[in-house]
């Protein structure tokens, strides 16, 4: 299997060296860019499978870069920033990162997050062709990872897509936040359950942009979520 490629956009050298060493030890191929401008060039030349993006960069900031990227690219993005930044905003509709890690972080946790993001995107793109899930006006094409509501495409991030797919495969069942973490992020994910809530909020908001009263993803108080 070819080595998976990870681009790290980070201007602090001690952090980028730590990230590079941790990932190379796990046999990932790593390139480091120290500014947003350099990062964009390397995106085209290196064609990474995943992007690790620092929030504070010398020439731009990670939020702007991620927002730009999200307009035409579904590459998994792990955002790294100082503790205390608003997680809801970072993985929110406004920015669209797939996951978030606060500095200082444990390199093992970084590797686990990277592995989970890559596994999910590989899993999602290796599904057998032709399978479509349909429920009322909602349709999901698994292989091409596209979602449609009332015939109009809804542009989802990889995590939002995986969440929607879990719901559509388990209609009427209550899925706990932990169920969703295990199924969508993977069993070795360290993150907390608020991450699930943030992504579901985004997913619902996108569906509501298309269908104003879309309410088929219901919170079940104290438990999790149910798709009706």
Q: Where do contacts with Ca ion occur on this chain (CB under 5 A)?
A: 11, 54, 56
Interhelix angle 13-25/107-125, nearest 10 degrees = 60
- Taking the least distance from each CB to Ca ion, the nearer of 51 and 184 is 51
DSSP three-state, residue 135: strand
Q: Per the structure block, which two tokens stand in for 150?
A: 């009332």
- Taking the least distance from each CB to Ca ion, the nearer of 40 and 133 is 40
Least separation in angstroms between CB 12 and Ca ion: 5
Least separation in angstroms between CB 15 and Ca ion: 8
Least separation in angstroms between CB 11 and Ca ion: 5
- Taking the least distance from each CB to Ca ion, the nearer of 55 and 200 is 55
> Is the separation of the CB atoms in 65 and 56 below 8 Å?
no
- Taking the least distance from each CB to Ca ion, the nearer of 11 and 211 is 11
- Taking the least distance from each CB to Ca ion, the nearer of 18 and 133 is 18
Listed residue (78, 89, 83, 77) closest to 104, CA to CA? 83
User: Within 10 A of 195 (CB to CB), how many other CB atoms are there?
Assistant: 21
Would you list the DSSP string of 154-174?
A: E---HHHHHHHHHHHHSTT-E
- Taking the least distance from each CB to Ca ion, the nearer of 54 and 160 is 54
Residue nearest to Ca ion (CB): 56
Least separation in angstroms between CB 83 and Ca ion: 14
Least separation in angstroms between CB 17 and Ca ion: 14
Least separation in angstroms between CB 81 and Ca ion: 8
User: Within 10 A of 109 (CB to CB), how many other CB atoms are there?
Assistant: 15
209: left (phi over 0), alpha (psi -120 to 50) or beta: alpha
Listed residue (65, 63, 80) closest to 12, CA to CA? 80
Interhelix angle 158-169/107-125, nearest 10 degrees = 60
């Amino acid at each position: 299997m070819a080595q998976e490629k990870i681009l790290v956009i980070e201007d602090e050298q001690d952090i980028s060296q730590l990230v590079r060493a941790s990932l190379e030890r796990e046999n990932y191929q790593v390139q480091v860019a120290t500014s947003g401008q350099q990062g964009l060039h390397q995106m085209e030349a290196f064609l990474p499978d995943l992007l690790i993006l620092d929030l504070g960069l010398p020439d731009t900031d990670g939020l702007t870069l991620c927002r730009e990227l999200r307009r035409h690219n579904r590459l998994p993005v792990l955002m790294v920033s100082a503790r205390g930044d608003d997680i809801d905003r970072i993985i929110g509709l406004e920015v669209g990162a797939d996951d978030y890690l606060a500095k200082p972080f444990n390199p093992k946790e970084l590797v686990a997050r990277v592995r989970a993001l890559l596994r999910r995107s590989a899993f999602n793109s290796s599904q057998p062709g032709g399978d479509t899930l349909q429920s009322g006006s909602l349709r999901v094409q698994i292989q091409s990872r596209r979602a449609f509501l009332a015939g109009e495409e809804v542009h989802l991030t990889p995590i939002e897509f995986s969440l929607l797919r879990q719901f559509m495969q388990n209609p009427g069942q209550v899925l706990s936040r932990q169920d969703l973490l295990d199924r969508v992020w993977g069993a070795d994910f360290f993150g907390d359950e608020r991450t699930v809530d943030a992504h579901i909020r985004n997913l619902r908001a996108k569906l509501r942009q298309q269908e104003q009263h879309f309410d088929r993803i219901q919170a079940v108080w104290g438990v999790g979520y149910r798709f009706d």
